[in-house]
Each structure stands twice: as structure tokens, then as C-alpha cells.
A and B are shown apart, each in its own frame.
Chain A
């Protein structure tokens, strides 16, 4: 019975369900898990995100997952302009020059409150235009941050998987995410095939998503100047098709490994409408700021491998990902977790290292004496970048199929742009119960 209870904890998404070869408990049981995360960057963005997830396993082995999450964020965010030895003044009208959204919940709103997380920035504004006209200044040597943005995001997802035969599982799902200036809808489907006495599982998954971007003040015309703002419309969209092929192999009673290949193609608007680029004149003085422009297509590939190994009563979780795309971005990610089980308590240190090479259209500034490029962005997230995460999670089995856990992590970034230097703290509390 204890084993059956533990099995009931198995929570997996539709994709996760299909990728798993492990046993799962059948029985009409519910599991609920709720979590609250607080994400805080030094002098920048703060985000709060509560989430609720419900899972039900039917007696025939079918599984239903429902989750709902709400994000609320505010703070200061890099606008893309380069650091200067002069005082810089930014005006945001048509969207060009406004701040972007850089954390878990995203989007930008020309909010009228007086939040200002950076003492070096001054805020002035009026509401002549629909998107709001704002002006703020950045002191010499300071990273240009738009000091004032906030947004809320609501996301919902529903997944359903069911065994078609003893060795075939099918899954279908959908998700919806809404922000004040962004809407995303996605559907997915998948097929899981078990063989080799269920020691091997092949997963085939497909996802289709459609995103609608409605920037405040309209979509800035590509490379339009901040001093002469113009808009090319009120909204843009993109469509994303992704496929994921997965092989999961049980190696022994104590080890299981997974190898995934995924490919995705997105078509449409990839530009961040709130990002700008510094434009320099022939004397290398600041002439103006222009709206960025990214390619309207991106094809990504990734290979992901993971190993879970049970040893000495503990669990080791290793994963590696290599990603490449047609923007010339390549990245490697290594993630290590070690779960130390101490009776009803577990302690799980975590380390993650990420490194990426820059996109081929990444720039730190543009020069008025050069030809206008087809594509350019000064978004530090497209430049050479290294991220490091380390932290620990502590969990307590409360009995009666309840568990509570706490997580604290440090997230740091550095890159070729000054804006890439970031320190953040992630703290989170989880509670889950089966009934």
C-alpha cells in the first residue's frame, strides 16, 4: 500500500507522460500541488507567481492535468541602449524606446505609478498618445534601464493522456496565456510507444502555437528613430511549430536515461517592440536611438540528454542540452541535482551552467555612417552570455500523502554587454497533497 501511495505522487504532463517508462499507479485519485515563487533581481525586476496544478488518474490509466498560474511583475529593465559617458534621455511614444519584459511574466505597460527601482533614473511623462508618452534619463556610466514597467499574466493549460493499447499511449493538450500586450495559444499531441518489456519508450510529439503581440503605442517601424517615432500597425503575430522525438531507456533497477531531439520553426514577428539600439554619428556621439528588427523566421534544434540514478538511497539527476539555430546562436546547458534522502526530509543541492554564443545580428550599437543592416538587435539576451544557478531545495514529508518544500537559488548572468550582468534570487514554496 505504501508503494501504491508513493506512485500516486507521479505527476507528469502529457509530454512527460509519454516520455516516461516507469510504472504509474492506476486508481481514480486526485493530486493537487500549489506553489508560490518570488523572483527578485538586484535593482531590476521583481516577479511573484502563484500556481495551482491538479492531476487525476482514472482507473483505466487515463490522466488529466490542469494548471493555472498568475504572474505579477514590476521593476526596471534594460532598454537595449548602450552605456554612455553622457546623460541619456529616452522618450517612449510608439513603443520604440519603451522597456521590454524580461522575466517570468512578461509584457510592458506604460503604467502611471511612480515606481522607480533605480535611483539614477528620472521619470517624467504625459499621456498624449494611446501608449503613453514617457521620458526618463540615465546618468553617465549607468546601464540604460527603463525604470518603470509592470505587467500581469494569466496562463492555463490542460493535458489529457490515455492508453490506447497496452503499449501505446496517446496525449493531447492545449494552453492559453494572456498578458496586457501579448496573447498565446497552443495545442499539442503525442504518441508514446513502449517496447522491450516496457524498458524502452519512444515518444513522438507535435506542438502548434500562435502568439499575438500588441505593443503599447503600436508596433514600431523597423529602425525608426526615437526622435521621429512611427508605427507600422497595432499588432503582429507569429506561428510556432515544434516536434519532439524522445527515447527513454531503463538501464537498471536504479537508472533511467532519456535522449530527446527537438526541432522548431517559428514564422512571424520575433522583434521585441520595446527594444532600441544606440545610433552613433561619425564622431561616435549619440545621434539617436532606433527600434530593433529581428528576422521573421527562426529554426531551432536541440539535443537533450538526462540521466537519473538512484544510489545510496539518494537520487542523482544529470542533464545536458545543446541547442543551435539559424540565427547562429549555439548554447550548452549542464544541470546537476543531488537529492539527499534523510528519512522524511530531503535536501537537494542544484547547480546549472549555461553558455550561449551571440546571434549573427547582435550589435551593441549602430553607426549612421554605415548602411542600415537587414536585422539588428542590442538585446543582451542575444549576445554572448553565461548564466550560473546554484541553490538548494529542502522538502519534508508531512505524512498522509502531503509534502512541503522550500527552494532558494541564486541566478547570475554575465556577458559582453554591461546590461547582461545580473544577480537574482529565486525563492519558492511548494505544497502537494493526494486525496
Chain B
């Protein structure tokens, strides 16, 4: 039954479309800041800085190189 759950979940996310996508006039939800990658840059920047200085990993969604002497 687990496969059925996956099928339902994926079909919900993709809108049951064979080819995923959205028409330009269907993108009003996608235009919201919270649906945009990089739409909450200050928060992401704060978090990246804390975790960069406290963990051995960085980056992923953006560049994670140098920038400070905290690690």
C-alpha cells in the first residue's frame, strides 16, 4: 500500500500532469516570496552564517566558501 501513497503524493505535487509545469497564468502561487528559492535571503544568510561557524559543512543552496574567520 505504500506505493499507492507515493503515487497519490507525487500526483498531488505535480498536479497529475504527464509533463510537469505551469502556464504563465497559473503561476500566482509560485510568484509568492515563500515559494521562491532565495525569497527569504536575510534569514537564509543568517542561518548559513551560524551553521558555517558551528559545523564543518556549508553551502548547497548557494556558495559556501570563505567570508569569515569563524571556521
Binding site for B on A (CB under 8 A): 3, 6-7, 9-13, 15-17, 19-24, 33, 35, 37, 39, 49, 51, 53, 65, 67, 69, 101-107, 153, 155, 175, 177, 179, 181-182, 184, 186, 188, 196-200, 205, 207, 209-211, 213, 238, 240, 242, 244, 248-256, 258, 260, 262, 264, 266, 272, 300, 302-304, 306-311, 315, 317, 319, 321, 323, 327, 329, 331, 333, 339, 354, 356, 359, 381-382, 385, 387, 393, 407, 411, 413, 422, 426, 428, 430
| Interchain CA distance A210-B65 in the complex, whole Å | 10
Please state if B20 and A102 are interface contacts (CB–CB under 8 Å).
no
Do A307 and B36 have beta carbons less than 8 Å apart? no
Do the beta carbons of B69 and A179 come within 8 Å of each other?
yes
Report the nearest B residue to A346, measured CB to CB: B34
Q: List 18 A-B contacts (CB under 8 A).
A: A9-B39, A11-B39, A16-B39, A22-B35, A23-B24, A104-B53, A106-B69, A184-B66, A186-B63, A197-B21, A207-B65, A209-B67, A240-B65, A258-B37, A304-B59, A308-B35, A321-B60, A411-B54
Q: B residues engaging A (CB < 8 A)?
A: 12-15, 17, 20-24, 26-43, 45-46, 49-51, 53-57, 59-71
- Let me know if B68 and A302 touch, CB within 8 A: no
User: Which chain B positions have C-beta within 8 A of A67?
Assistant: 42, 45
Q: Nearest-CB distance from B21 to chain A (Å)?
A: 3
Q: Taking A12-B39, A428-B46 as contacts, is the C-beta distance between A106 and B53 under 8 angstroms?
A: yes
**Also in contact, A23 and B30, with CB within 8 A (given A250-B22, A251-B13):** yes
Flag if B30 contacts A22 (CB, 8 Å).
yes
Kindly provide the distance from the CB of A402 to the nearest chain B CB, expressed in whole angstroms.
14
**Contact check: which of A182, A205, A323 meets B69 at CB < 8 Å?**
A182
Chain A: CB-nearest residue to B13: A255
Please count the residue pairs between chain A and chain B whose beta carbons lie under 8 angstroms apart in the complex: 269
CB distance from A386 to the nearest CB of B (A): 10
Bound-state CA distance A250–B46 (Å) is 27
Q: Is the CB of B17 within 8 A of A252?
A: yes
Contact present for B70 and A104 (CB under 8 Å): yes
Pair A323/B57 contact, Cβ less than 8 Å = yes
Contact of A381 with B54 in the complex, beta carbons under 8 Å: yes
Q: How many angstroms between the C-alpha atoms of A101 and B61 in the bound complex?
A: 24
Contact, CB under 8 Å: A13 / B57:
no
8 extra A-B contacts, CB within 8 A, seeds A254-B15, A262-B60:
A15-B38, A35-B42, A104-B50, A184-B67, A240-B66, A252-B13, A252-B14, A422-B54
CA of A11 to CA of B45 in the docked complex: distance in angstroms? 13
In whole angstroms, how far apart are the Cα atoms of A40 and B9 in the complex? Answer: 40
Q: Most B CB atoms within 10 A — which of A242, A249, A251, A359?
A: A251
B33 adjacent to A11 (CB under 8 Å): yes
State A37–B43 Cα separation when bound (angstroms): 10
| A186 touches which of B15, B45, B67 (Cβ 8 Å) | B67
Query: With A and B bound together, what is the CA distance between A181 and B70 in angstroms?
Result: 11
Q: Is the CB of B31 within 8 A of A307?
A: no
Q: Do A102 and B62 have beta carbons less than 8 Å apart?
A: no
Select from chain B the residue with minimum beta-carbon distance to A358: B56
Q: How far is the CA of A323 from the CA of B51 in the complex (A)?
A: 14
Q: Which of B15, B42, B60, B65 contacts A253 (CB 8 A)?
A: B15
How distant is the Cα of A333 from the Cα of B48 in the complex, in angstroms? Answer: 12
A387's partner among B51, B66, B67 (CB-CB below 8 A) is B51
CB-based nearest B residue for A4: B31
Nearest residue in B to A53 (C-beta to C-beta)?
B42
Residue of B nearest to A208 (CB): B65
Closest 6 A/B residue pairs (Cβ):
A16-B38, A106-B70, A252-B15, A182-B69, A199-B21, A304-B60
Using Cβ atoms and an 8 Å threshold, which residues of chain B touch A307?
13
Minimum CB–CB distance from A86 to chain B (whole Å) comes to 29
A39: chain B residues at CB < 8 Å are: 50
Chain B residue with minimal CB distance to A432?
Answer: B42
In the bound complex, residues from chain B placing their C-beta under 8 Å from that of A65 are 41
Given B12, B14, B32, B37, which contacts A20 in the complex, CB threshold below 8 Å? Answer: B37
Compute how far the CA of A19 lies from the CA of B51 in the bound complex, rounded to whole angstroms: 22
Instruction: Pick the residue among B23, B35, B62 that contacts A310 (CB under 8 A).
Output: B35
A19 to B33, Cβ gap below 8 A?
Answer: no
Name the contact of B66 in the complex, choosing from A3, A15, A266 (C-beta under 8 A).
A266
Residues of B close to A17: CB separation below 8 A: 38
Contacts of A24 in B (CB 8 A): 31
The answer to whether A264 touches B59, judged by C-beta atoms less than 8 angstroms apart, is: yes
Which single member of B29, B45, B68 contacts A184 (CB below 8 Å)? B68
Say yes or no: A103-B53 contact (C-beta < 8 A), given A33-B42, A250-B21, A254-B15.
yes
Q: Please report the C-alpha to C-alpha distance between residue A69 and residue B46 in the assembled complex, in whole angstroms.
A: 10
A250 touching B64, Cβ below 8 Å? no
